[in-house]
Amino acid sequence: MPSILVDADACPVKEEIFKVAYRLNTPVTLVANSYLRTPNHPLISMQVVSDGFDAADDWIAENATPSCVVITADILLAGRCIEVGATVLGPTGKPFNSSNIGGAIATRAIMADLRAGLEQTSGPAPFSNKDRSQFLNALDRELQRLKREGL
């Protein structure tokens, strides 16, 4: 049975995740360093991890399986989850996969170097309603695919 693991600390699409999870009867685990308010629903659970560096990422990577959809904007976590066969979506619905993760990691490293050199970078575009809609469609599509494949 498919499930959803959410890198929840800064996730802007939690409500959209809940909406799809209810409709498709899919369990969701929110993972964060501190307790977050969650709906009182049997499909929704909260996993609070230590405040250690990358503790939430480590928990998600260790618990991700090929039947999981992982929701994260963290490119390095996405790479770790892809390695174990999980489906990974960014909060805008952008899929991370073995074909595009290498380029995403390289771009991340370049941007980190630019920031370290005090180069001005513009940062990500503001989150939009179009992003939310694309995310909803992508999450629905991936969960339906996993169910068809019997995962």
Q: What is the pLDDT of residues 76-108, one digit of tens each?
A: 899 999 999 999 999 999 999 877 665 555 554
CA distance 70 to 30: 10
| pLDDT tens digits for range 43-82 | 999 999 998 889 999 999 999 999 999 999 998 899 999 9
Q: What's the Cα-to-Cα distance from 33 to each of 6, 7, 23, 71, 78, rounded to whole Å?
A: 12, 10, 28, 16, 18
Domains and CATH numbers, the chain: 3-149 (3.40.50)
pLDDT at residue 42, as a whole number: 97
pLDDT at residue 112, as a whole number: 53
